Amino acid sequence: MNNRPTKCKAAFMHGPFDLRIEEIELPPLKPNQILIKLIACGICQSDVECFEGKSAEGRYDIAPYTPGHEWVGRAVEIGESVTSIKEGDKVVGDCVLPCHECANCKDGKMSSACLNMREVGFRPDSPGGFGEYMILEESYTHKIPEDWSDEIGIFVENFNVAYWGVWGNGCDPDASDDCVIIGAGPIGCSAAMVCATSGANVIVVDPVESRREAAMKYGADYTVDPTVRPVEEQINELTGGRGASVIIECSGNDTGIASVFDIAGHSCRIGFVGHSIGRKVPVEIGKTIWKTLRMSGSGGTTNWFPRTIRFMSKIKDKYDFEDLVSHYYKFDDLAEAMEMAQNKAVARKVMLTFED
């Protein structure tokens, strides 16, 4: 790359409510690495909860780290061994990074089982997209179509989480299923789109009216306000008394998680997607026995991004991904962007943009 920058600005999370933009040196690339100029980056609720000190996922206890895992950028320099990505390609990337070499990786376990796991945007050893440039290895970097909008680009990681949570872990809905999505944030709406594509009856639960309204545009057949009356009663009415046959828990909220065991029908397949790591959540676990529930977690995906990109290519003209972004901020206005992202009643997806 001609005129390769030697320095750039990046944000560092030093602790709760302590996010600073700093200037850093850009190191030379290793043979398998790619230098990526950021175009845009979404602010995830996982980022917000780390910022608020409510989540143990972000590891500023180790050292300050650069957040941001919902990014889109352009490859501007490639290492000498890189073959699948070319300079100028529009790219996105995995969040959970397995080493492919440890015993768990060789045993075919999930990326989150990797004994040397890195996580883009949550650890000091894997800087994320809250910066002008980032460096990522080829095996975690994926090309997207040039004609995709930046908004679709930042939603690939988000949609990937939901798509895997529905299909990668065995929830497998079809047109006979009553699928209940808990949480109508961006991941919940993504899960609704995935379930709707299967022809299932899709019900989305969220206490925020604006989010319920959004869910109706992204695959929901019905929405439920859990604050009006017992959510179990409402779900039974919408499922002919059967309860949910598939549940995708996307909220990570204590009340939402606990409600899973109440609204699940017999033999329900449950995918836990919303993060609650670092705290205990009281639930009526005994219902798993009497309802014969099948539960699976979803922390990181394995070899799923290419499928996600193909899936999104099929539905991107049916659903308005751009409308999921409620607020735009320049990277230099990061403090204001984080403040807005904390306001769940107003913000859906807050997107950072970078100057050309």
Residues 232 and 282 in one domain: yes
DSSP state of 140: G
Specify if 308 maps to a domain. no
Residues 16 and 117 in one domain: yes
Specify if 304 maps to a domain. no
Contact 77, 297 (CB under 8 A): no
Residues 132 and 189 in one domain: no
User: Which residues form the domain of 276?
Assistant: 160-297
Residues 178 and 266 in one domain: yes
Specify if 284 maps to a domain. yes
- One pLDDT digit (tens) per residue for the chain, 356 residues: 557 889 999 999 999 999 999 999 999 999 999 999 999 999 998 999 999 998 889 999 999 999 999 999 999 999 999 999 999 999 999 999 999 999 999 999 999 999 999 999 999 999 999 999 999 999 999 999 999 999 999 999 999 999 999 999 899 999 999 999 999 999 999 999 999 999 999 999 999 999 999 999 999 999 999 999 999 999 999 999 999 999 999 999 999 999 999 999 999 999 999 888 888 999 999 999 999 999 999 777 888 999 999 999 999 999 999 999 999 999 999 999 999 999 988 888 999 999 76
Q: What is the CATH number of the domain that holds 196?
A: 3.40.50.720
The number of domains in the chain is: 2
Please give the Cα distance from 189 to 181 (Å, whole number): 8
Specify if 148 maps to a domain. no
Residues 120 and 179 in one domain: no
Specify if 193 maps to a domain. yes
Residues 139 and 165 in one domain: no
Specify if 151 maps to a domain. no
Residues 11 and 139 in one domain: yes
Residues 287 and 169 in one domain: yes
Specify if 153 maps to a domain. no
Which H or E run contains 226? none
Please give the Cα distance from 123 to 141 (Å, whole number): 18
Specify if 338 maps to a domain. yes
Between the alpha carbon of residue 193 and those of residues 129, 198, 225, 239, the distances in Å are: 26, 9, 19, 19
